Structure 1
Amino acid sequence: MTQPPPVPSLLGVFAHPDDESLLAGGVLAQHAAAGARTAVVTATWTADSHRAPELAEALDVLGAGAPRLLGYADARNPASAPCGAVRLVDAALDEAVGRLVGHIREVRPGVVVGHDAMGQLTGHPDHRRAHQITLLAVEAAGLPHLYPEAGEPWQPAALYAATHSESGTGLLRPLLRSVGKTLLAVPDAYVTTTVDVSPWAAVKVAAILAHHSEVARPRSLPGLLARLPEPERNEIISAEQFTRLSLGPAPGAPHRLVA
């Protein structure tokens, strides 16, 4: 009997604590449950901020290891960097890319997932900046003449952008509208991969709820989801959508997200 291909190692790159749980928590939990190495890089909120231990709790729930922080401040929240670090949106691009390259070369993932170009869900500037940095870093990580101080070159086989299609927003759009927020969605044809993560819904919810300070906020998505009845909440979180982005050549067989 032909054995299924091994589940690839997975690295998530997201702007803020809770993005990993909201946008790819099911896929992260799914890969971890299959025995794949998983990890998450978070671009903003520093290690001395109150959200760092919440992130650690969420990643533990997902099986994604310890937090990996790029050490920048949130564009909209000075409390994200008590040490006075520069905002992600103001950081030198070359420096930010180099920091992320170091993590990619250390983790050596088969697949990287991150934000889409619009900065879903609501177009936060940190989301868009994280998308740009991820695109550059994933390619640069495989080139030995770029950032040689960041470790031995490693080229991931696949890069996916977490996104939401126009037809796939479901209950999420009215939920955000109820607190005066809009939801940025892409045309359906832009989505290349939809993963049913309903078997990991409970794990994903637990990871979302680990971001306690966000759950306490009435207009944040973790807070909104926490107050929904379980059937409605599970309907919103049980599918994750991605767009596969082109990469250069990589050795070995092609990798894909578990579907």
Structure 2
Amino acid sequence: MTDASILGLFAHPDDEVLAAGGVLARHAAAGARTAVVTATWAPDSHRAEELAHALRILGAAEPRMLGYADHQVPDSAPEQPRLCDAPLDEAVGRVVEHMRAFRPDIVITHDPSGASGHPDHVRTHQITVLAVHASGLPDLHPHAGPAWTPRSLWLAAYPQVGARDLADLLATVGKRLRTVPDEMVTSPVDVRPWISQKQEALFAHRSEVARARSLPALLSGLPDSSRADLLSTEWFMCHDLTPSQVPPQHVPDPLHLHPGTGCEA
């Protein structure tokens, strides 16, 4: 169902576009509430401004930023700890606050490898997985508001075969795309109807487009049709969080592809 509310949790500004920009645009167009929590970079940084612009293009709410420093860019959040150095329980509690305040049906984050292997991606995955479970337990982080359990958790991933062209593009600058076996992807989503929004949102991250060897820079150098082909599918490994509350006959079928997952696109 495209009217399910979505809260994305990603490591850096631009991750939301690359991992789930089309899904965010699709749900927003259907009238659903969508928002993104970004783990790194200060709210008064240039990348926060770019993020706000990108989210407006995708129809999402204003940025929600945890404000930790990027693992590789300490000046991204002066005087704040790097995400990977922050106390785990503190970071989880802050995400729980956002989760209970927004009350999403679906939470989207990085897969366990973080796709690029970036430490911030991996840490954001770990924090989010803990937070979606802690959010539903009233005795944990009681200061964060009434308990709330999302219906499903979607892990943005790249299948070995399906994302081969993207992996080849990254290999041209010596980077590796960490993929998962294709059969582990439960919900491939065709976002081509929203590709213009997704590309516009990607280009809103101007500093990343200008940074040599970044994925946005590599994509920006492609012909429009080639770029659209690479960005027109988003892949997810979906997990039900409240299966007992959804009668089996009413579990949604994501794009009629995988009955019984409860992780509809």
Q: TM-score range by the shorter chain?
A: over 0.9
1:188 aligns with 2:186: no
The CA deviation string for residues 5-24 of structure 1, in whole angstroms up to 9 with x for no partner, is: 56210110000000000110
**Which secondary structure does the structure 1 equivalent of 2:180 belong to?**
coil
2:48 matched residue in structure 1:
52
**Which secondary structure does the structure 1 equivalent of 2:161 belong to?**
helix
Letter in 2 for 1:64: A
Alpha-carbon deviation of 1:44?
Answer: 0.5
**Which secondary structure does the structure 2 equivalent of 1:185 belong to?**
coil
* Percent of residue pairs identical: 57
2:259 matched residue in structure 1:
none
Letter in 2 for 1:37: R
> Do the aligned residues in 2 keep the contact of 1:101 with 1:141 (CA within 8 Å)?
yes
Equivalent residue in structure 2 for 1:112, among 107, 111, 118: 107
Letter in 2 for 1:173: A
Letter in 2 for 1:144: P
- After TM superposition, list the pairs within 5 Å mapping 1:199-218 onto structure 2: 199-218=193-212
Equivalent residue in structure 2 for 1:81, among 77, 82, 97: 77
Letter in 1 for 2:174: G
**Which secondary structure does the structure 2 equivalent of 1:182 belong to?**
coil
**Which secondary structure does the structure 2 equivalent of 1:235 belong to?**
helix
The CA deviation string for residues 96-149 of structure 1, in whole angstroms up to 9 with x for no partner, is: 0000000000110000010000111x1000000000000000011111111010
Quote the Cα distance in structure 2 between the aligned partners of 1:135 and 1:13: 10
Letter in 1 for 2:159: S
TM-score, normalising length: structure 1: 0.94
**Which secondary structure does the structure 2 equivalent of 1:166 belong to?**
coil
1:232 matched residue in structure 2:
226
**Which secondary structure does the structure 2 equivalent of 1:39 belong to?**
strand
Quote the Cα distance in structure 2 between the aligned partners of 1:75 and 1:116: 18
Quote the Cα distance in structure 2 between the aligned partners of 1:123 and 1:29: 26
2:168 matched residue in structure 1:
174
> Do the aligned residues in 2 keep the contact of 1:172 with 1:236 (CA within 8 Å)?
yes
Quote the Cα distance in structure 2 between the aligned partners of 1:103 and 1:87: 20
What's the C-alpha RMSD, in Å, of the aligned pairs? 1.4
1:14 aligns with 2:32: no
Quote the Cα distance in structure 2 between the aligned partners of 1:109 and 1:59: 17
2:89 matched residue in structure 1:
94
Quote the Cα distance in structure 2 between the aligned partners of 1:220 and 1:257: 31
Quote the Cα distance in structure 2 between the aligned partners of 1:6 and 1:73: 34
2:147 matched residue in structure 1:
153
> Do the aligned residues in 1 keep the contact of 2:2 with 2:26 (CA within 8 Å)?
no
Letter in 1 for 2:75: A
Quote the Cα distance in structure 2 between the aligned partners of 1:234 and 1:219: 19
Letter in 2 for 1:35: G
1:221 aligns with 2:224: no
Alpha-carbon deviation of 1:250?
Answer: 6.3
Alpha-carbon deviation of 1:246?
Answer: 4.4
Equivalent residue in structure 1 for 2:26, among 19, 25, 30: 30
The CA deviation string for residues 195-235 of structure 1, in whole angstroms up to 9 with x for no partner, is: 00000000000111000000001211111111110111001
Name the count of aligned residue pairs: 253
Quote the Cα distance in structure 1 between the aligned partners of 2:149 and 2:232: 30
Quote the Cα distance in structure 1 between the aligned partners of 2:10 and 2:29: 21
> Do the aligned residues in 1 keep the contact of 2:240 with 2:263 (CA within 8 Å)?
no
Alpha-carbon deviation of 1:248?
Answer: 4.4
